[in-house]
Amino acid sequence: MDTDTRQIHNFQAGDLFDRHYRLLEHVGSGGFADVWKAKDELVDTIVALKIYTRLDKEGISELAKEYKEMRGIKHPNLLTGNHFDASGNIPYLEMDYCDGGSLYGRMGKMSNDELHHVLRDIAGGLAYLHREGIVHQDIKPENILYDTKKDRYLLSDFGISGKSRTRLSHSVNKANMTLSMTEAYAPPEKFSGNLADLEPDTKGDIFSLGMTLFELSVGQLPFMPPMATGREMLYGQGRLQLDYGQIKDPQLRKIVEGCTMYGKAERLTAEQVLAMLPDSEKNKKTGSSRPPTEKIKVGSGGQPGTKTGRSGTSGTNPPSQLPLKWIYIVGSIIGVALLLAIILQFCFRSPLDSISVPTQTILNISSNPSKASVFINGVYKGITPLSLKDQQPGPRIISMSADGYEWLEQTIEIKSGVPNTCHANLKKK
């Protein structure tokens, strides 16, 4: 589900849909459906209604068949439909309403603990789907919802076949479609032009999961729409390296890198993602990640861990102790030695050690056309025109790419203390 405010239908809050659903609030719109918070006045219950674009009888029948096949799918982190029906030629799906909304707008605003929670829940739901032979095909922040009552994240919008997606898409004006957002999370092979690569694949879901986690952690995707990370990786033929260093949590960084490998055979599975997460559930049961503290038995004589006789006094002699004056003497000698070491360090230190020479080396990168993606030594740096400060002297491999233009790669030498310029004229394909 997307959060686009544009609607496919012209419904308004307060309208009565299919005789008993009172529409309360427009939650968002996707490529071929509007989502509404609604009240089922027959049973006095708040629900979520996904109202699809208009279809003919054959299309509605096919969609109903697919949702019927999904009835057996039950998992605490999957948002499944409660009831499928049609009002005239408008099919719709009733679902539980998640009051926490989607993760759209939460990018870059979640703590590491929240990100771990999201990943654990969604990877769990995804692993279940994959075991059932189901590919989601559209994982992104908009399709992850938060249930505040049960403190859990749910994956929505799964179970629609490619055939039904195509039929629904054809029924919608292309101006209302948000295919670019789906492309933004798609893996490299989906842009190859090979029909076999367009088939649903679990490793495609894993790449989209990695892109989703990257965006939630960093605040943006490596390439912003209309560009797509998968497409840029395909153009780079595996040479492109994403800047995973922007992800602060080392465990999340490792997982995202494993999910977004160029070759799909090298990507993790959902089960492997779960195995890489900390075992926080065990800690929740005990209330602590540390083992319980060993209890110390106290004897009747009041001394921990000692044996006592019948008279209540300790049966062991106390350990011998050094005379107090020797402790003072040894401590004084150590203190004097440390003081002499500090004095000698300051006396023999080079004056250059205390001087910090600021780096003024700048690298300005431009291209024709502009808005080209820039990579330095295979790491994505931004979009032209680009100015990078505090560059270290030495050689750099500068690569650039743009839609409709050939991949360009050149080596330049960064000189210290002066502005360095790199300009490229990209060739059309």
pLDDT of 30 strictly over 80: no
Which element (helix H / strand E) includes 69? Answer: helix 57-69
DSSP, collapsed to helix, strand or coil, labels residue 121 as: helix
Count of CB atoms situated within 10 Å of the CB of 363: 22
pLDDT surpasses 70 at 90: yes
Q: Which of 380, 407, 410, 417 is nearest to 395 (CA)?
A: 410
Check if the beta carbon of residue 141 is closer than 8 Å to that of residue 156.
no
What are the tens digits of pLDDT across the range 145-172?
Answer: 999 999 999 999 876 655 555 555 555 5
CB half-sphere exposure, 424, CA atoms < 13 A: 29
pTM flag (> 0.75): no
pLDDT at 48: 96
Residue linked to tokens 């779960």: 274
Q: Residues in the chain, how many?
A: 429
pLDDT of 287 > 50? The answer is: no
CB count, 10 Å around CB of 34? Answer: 24
Q: How large is the average pLDDT for residues 318-330?
A: 59
Assigned fold of 112-282: Transferase(Phosphotransferase); domain 1 (1.10.510)
Q: Residue 189 burial by CB count (10 A; 0-12/13-18/19+): exposed, middle or buried?
A: buried
Min mean pLDDT across 29-33, 84-88, 200-204, 271-275 is at: 29-33
Residue 387 pLDDT = 87
pLDDT of residue 168: 59
| Domain spans in the chain, listed from the N-terminal domain onward | 16-96, 112-282, 362-425
Distance set, CA 176 to CA 69, 106, 224 (Å)? 29, 24, 19
SS3 409: strand
Q: Name the residue with tokens 């096949």.
A: 69
Residue found under tokens 């999957």:
78
Mean pLDDT over the full length of the chain: 80
Q: What percent of the chain has pLDDT over 70?
A: 76
> How far is CA 52 from each of CA 7, 47, 233, rounded to the nearest angstrom?
11, 16, 34
Convert the pLDDT of each residue in 369-408 to its tens digit.
888 878 787 666 778 898 888 788 888 888 887 777 787 8
pLDDT at 217 over 60: yes
What is the assigned CATH class of domain 362-425? mainly beta
CATH assignment, 16-96:
3.30.200.20
Per-residue pLDDT at 255 exceeds 70: yes
DSSP letter string, 225-250: TTS-HHHHHHHTTT--B--GGG--SH
